Structure 1
């Protein structure tokens, strides 16, 4: 049905009060946002938005629809799930989109545990960076995402899952490891390895460095790689440094292959998020979300 997408477009546009930003969050064009809003307005016979000077605002009718939109979307999702169950379309399938760091280092044991408890279900995991996972959710190609980026897409709900720390690391034979004191401005002297734009890890690193007054364009970026595994392999053969999730380097720290460079007065902490469309979850996706929240203490046990 087109109805739920039009309502989703309205909900995001009402949240942002900016059609261009809504289009970006929904991964559609700005004219497509305007078209969907206009179709709802034509259907109900009254405008939902009005222009107050340079600012977009909700009309009284828009405020009423916005108040009910999240409940409507949630009930629609539940109804769709129940219909799929009785028509056999659900079939115990669970489609997940998991961002790269989480897919490689955090969630594998949870998937094993879930399959042991619920062996009749079939799970398909798509590994992608956080922005791609968000796009798959918007397009209804997956039921649930687990992401590591900034929770700023208003068409999605982000539930904190587990805490993460991003640390600066290098190989243990790097002469840099002998330095006793390292301040943030010293990173201008380093050859750095970064994840690709769109990676949740990259987004949070860029954000925190900017907040600390670091000029990103003046950093020496030696190479950009698309996974933490690739970065760790590159670090092994060079005196470069990289910001990586603490979850991604547990084995290397234990074996002494990598060493954390402690930065004075600077740290990067974040959450990994369970992510889904605004409107709630039902059935198997909800069961999976509850399970991994209840059993997250077993990730490294």
Structure 2
């Protein structure tokens, strides 16, 4: 583009008003400044754009051709400004959240239910994946925020704890009766049962593997699954002992559909929270979500 946007704004306004005096008032600049700008534009383009008349100025044939394209450009800019203004007034935006399928179902949904009521014009995208994958996508700026277990290294992250979770081992009474009939004592259940765990890509699995190794618990039969829901369902069907999160089997424990396996060494609780990069300025949508979850109390 040979000329600045301001030169074309002056040309556009003069052509629209057909009067330099009116254009000066509309643009809040002096008439000589407008005349000088038009003169420079004509010299730069190598043609006359306006003809003076008794009532003001009229576009030449060349001016008409230029005005067709300039007016289209400024109408597009005006439309963009109007849409942006409307977007800001309505709170339109987009938020991309990374979360495991387990945390999505049991922890994220209550937040989203209230957040979308308050901000209905913010579009939410959910990327269901492991905590490790969410951390990678945060690093690569592919998601705005993740609901994850507290990572060991969080130098580039702002992490806000929203809940504590506790891992436990559970099985049905029928399955435990089978083990008891085989003469397996309660303190040896993990070593002699079919143990059901999340797959190795999951941070929960890595945490449990560390627990088993630290306490020198060697497992024999192992079933790996991809979701916590499958672990719970498999445990209910007497397939073995499942490692699950206590908060997600409260009903099953209360009605004794599942029983907790006593452990000689308890598994330490873990923190779950929202994390986003501290090296980037949050978008307006992310700022609203951060403010929301910092003041949100599930169940209230």
Q: Which residue of 2 aligns with 1:258?
A: 258
- Give runs of aligned pairs for residues 216-235 of structure 1, distance below 5 A: 218-235=218-235
- Aligned partner of residue 210 in structure 1, secondary structure: helix
In 1: Cα distance, 2:96 partner to 2:290 partner:
12
Q: Which residue of 2 aligns with 1:296?
A: 297
Residues 199 and 225, structure 2, Cα contact 8 Å, conserved in 1: yes
- Give the greater-gyration-radius structure (CA): 2
Q: How many angstroms does 1:109 deviate by?
A: 1.3
Q: How many angstroms does 1:91 deviate by?
A: 4.6
Residue 209 of structure 2 corresponds to residue 206 of structure 1: yes
- Give runs of aligned pairs for residues 117-266 of structure 1, distance below 5 A: 117-148=118-149, 150-176=151-177, 182-183=186-187, 186-211=189-214, 213-215=215-217, 218-266=218-266
Q: How many angstroms does 1:125 deviate by?
A: 1.0
Q: Which residue of 2 aligns with 1:112?
A: 113
Residues 99 and 148, structure 1, Cα contact 8 Å, conserved in 2: no
- Aligned partner of residue 174 in structure 2, secondary structure: coil
The Cα offsets for residues 82-106 of structure 1, whole Å up to 9 and x where unpaired, read as xxx78x7995111100123211211
In 2: Cα distance, 1:242 partner to 1:147 partner:
21
Q: How many angstroms does 1:167 deviate by?
A: 0.8
- Aligned partner of residue 188 in structure 1, secondary structure: helix
Distance verdict in 2 for CA 1:114–1:102, change over 3 Å? same
The Cα offsets for residues 255-288 of structure 1, whole Å up to 9 and x where unpaired, read as 4321111213323310112111232653221321
In 2: Cα distance, 1:259 partner to 1:290 partner:
39
Q: How many angstroms does 1:239 deviate by?
A: 4.2
Q: Which residue of 2 aligns with 1:267?
A: 267
- Aligned partner of residue 251 in structure 1, secondary structure: helix
Residues 146 and 274, structure 2, Cα contact 8 Å, conserved in 1: yes
- Aligned length, in residue pairs: 211
- Give runs of aligned pairs for residues 14-93 of structure 1, distance below 5 A: 91-93=92-94
Q: How many angstroms does 1:153 deviate by?
A: 5.0
Residues 156 and 279, structure 2, Cα contact 8 Å, conserved in 1: no
Q: How many angstroms does 1:136 deviate by?
A: 1.4
TM-score by length of 1: 0.62
Distance verdict in 2 for CA 1:101–1:177, change over 3 Å? farther
- Aligned partner of residue 269 in structure 2, secondary structure: strand
Distance verdict in 2 for CA 1:176–1:147, change over 3 Å? farther
- Aligned partner of residue 230 in structure 2, secondary structure: helix
The Cα offsets for residues 126-157 of structure 1, whole Å up to 9 and x where unpaired, read as 11111111111112111000112643354434
Q: How many angstroms does 1:120 deviate by?
A: 1.7
Residues 151 and 158, structure 1, Cα contact 8 Å, conserved in 2: no
